Amino acid sequence: MSSIRSKITYIYLALALGVGAFVLFASASLRFLEQRMTEGVAIAAFQETAQEMRRHEKNFFLYRAQAELGAARDLAVELEWRLKQDGAALAELAAPDELLALARSLARYRRLLDDGGRVEAELRGAGHEILNRSESLAQRERANLSGSVRQSRHALLWSVGVLVLMALAGGQVLYRVVVRPLRQLEKQVEPLAHGEFRAFSMVSKDREIVSFTQALNHMLEELELHRRLVQQSEKLASLGTLASGVAHELNNPLGNISGAAQIALEEIESLPLSLPETARAELRSWLQQIDDETERARQIVRILLDYSRRSDHEDRPTPLLGVLEKSLLLLRPRLPEDDTVSCDVPAELMLCIDPQRMKQVFINLIQNALDAGGNSVHIHIEAAAAGPHDWPPAELAHDMAMGRAQVLGAPVSAARAVLIRIRDDGPGIHSDRIGQVFDPFFTTRAPGEGTGLGLYIVAEIVLEHGGAIAVTSPPAGGACFTLWLPCGGQP
């Protein structure tokens, strides 16, 4: 996966290479100009020597001073030496035949000086030719130097332009890689201010943006979990108030109704014999139904009273396998087959729990699977050590996104824990109802066949132990309850 850091590094490397190339090019241009200037100095010295030689020559013809003739001869020798010494520089400005002609003119001029300058016209003509050739070389050198400066200036301007374009291209890449994704994320953050928890979409494939987006989405999931937990706590508080305020008021009337129904059942036999048997049977059925429904109502009241009066649970280190075995022992008369429930639980797994209340959790979950799946259902229980980062499990994320999961609770950070899964192959839970399975008084059974408090109490006990619980139901059927229970210690 690409990253912003690597792209920025590549941009800086490209700019550094561009600057390095510019520095090398500028250094080469300056070195070339320096060479041209050195050649120019040599040509200028050659021209100045030729002019000085002509001056002594003219003075000789004006004053007939032998000293002027000797000075002119020395300067002619110096010009011959310079012609040989600076031959490479002069070869850049003149053709080989021109340099050869210049050398011959110098040799002829020197011979005429050695003859004492007797032929004035010929000596002046040779000197004039040497001076003209030196001035021609000087003009060419100045033109070449001017052209070199102009070329170097244009090349430097082009180089600066290329560097500016590279900088602009690097800035555009940085904008696309960093600024634009951050602006898109900023727009996605705006709904949070209005309480809308929408998942952030991936605006870039760079590792940093992907990690940042995943962290934001994880934060939203945590906020959603806490929001659901707060809603559940509000429901629990309401139910507690209802339980403590209403249960006592309902218990006495229900007891009176049940007692009256039972007395009426006993008095049926004392009714006049003229009453048809069908009427007696129908009356007996009605009274029995009244008594059964009254008992069911009293059972709900007992559960509410038990909930409202529940004491603090006494946690202690307890083997998970032992709790499961005791729960299955109590459920054995209700199991249709010996292999209805299978367990894959390591014996060394320990939990810091209230064993009695945790038995109630497992009994309710297994009984719920038996009631939903009937005699053909199979239940599998598995458990493994876990940590706070293992909740929620990876498979829950997809089910939550598809609306096939309900999650309650948030794990305690830095805690060792046990992850327990209870699966069945029953009919499963419809996606429209899975968000209500932990609500009090919610049941999918036929009227009169359930209180709707079993799974609610399961969730309550798990949350009281600092754990978390989730339920999923795949489209193929079956249900899976996943429990995250802390071990009560640090890793």
- Domain of residue 261: give its range: 207-308
HSE of 230, CA atoms in CB hemisphere, 13 A: 6
Residues 287 and 348 in one domain: no
Residues 390 and 437 in one domain: yes
Residues 110 and 163 in one domain: yes
Residues 333 and 369 in one domain: yes
Are the CB atoms for 383 and 418 separated by under 8 Å?
yes
Q: State the total domains in the chain.
A: 3
Alpha-carbon distance of 486 to 491, in angstroms, equals 11
Residues 291 and 376 in one domain: no
Confirm whether 418 is domain-assigned.
yes
Residue finishing a domain among 290, 308, 326: 308
Confirm whether 190 is domain-assigned.
no
Residues 331 and 294 in one domain: no
Residues lower than pLDDT 70 in the chain = 1, 117-118, 195, 197, 225, 228-229, 231-249, 251, 269, 273-274, 300, 302-313, 388, 411-415, 444-452, 488-491
Confirm whether 323 is domain-assigned.
yes
User: Could you count the other beta carbons within 10 Å of the beta carbon of residue 112?
Assistant: 22
Give tens-digit pLDDT for 107-147.
888 888 888 766 778 888 888 888 888 888 888 888 888 88
For residue 421, the cross-strand partners are: 382, 482
Residues 285 and 325 in one domain: no
Confirm whether 374 is domain-assigned.
yes
Confirm whether 188 is domain-assigned.
no
Residues 458 and 374 in one domain: yes
HSE of 40, CA atoms in CB hemisphere, 13 A: 16
Q: What pLDDT score does 233 carry? A: 63
Residues 53 and 103 in one domain: yes
Q: What pLDDT score does 242 carry? A: 64
Residues 334 and 460 in one domain: yes
Q: What pLDDT score does 491 carry? A: 43
Residues 328 and 433 in one domain: yes
> Whole-model pTM?
0.45
Residue finishing a domain among 182, 198, 232: 182
Q: What pLDDT score does 302 carry? A: 67
Residues 342 and 223 in one domain: no
- Tell me, what CATH number does 367's domain have? 3.30.565.10
Are the CB atoms for 125 and 136 separated by under 8 Å?
no
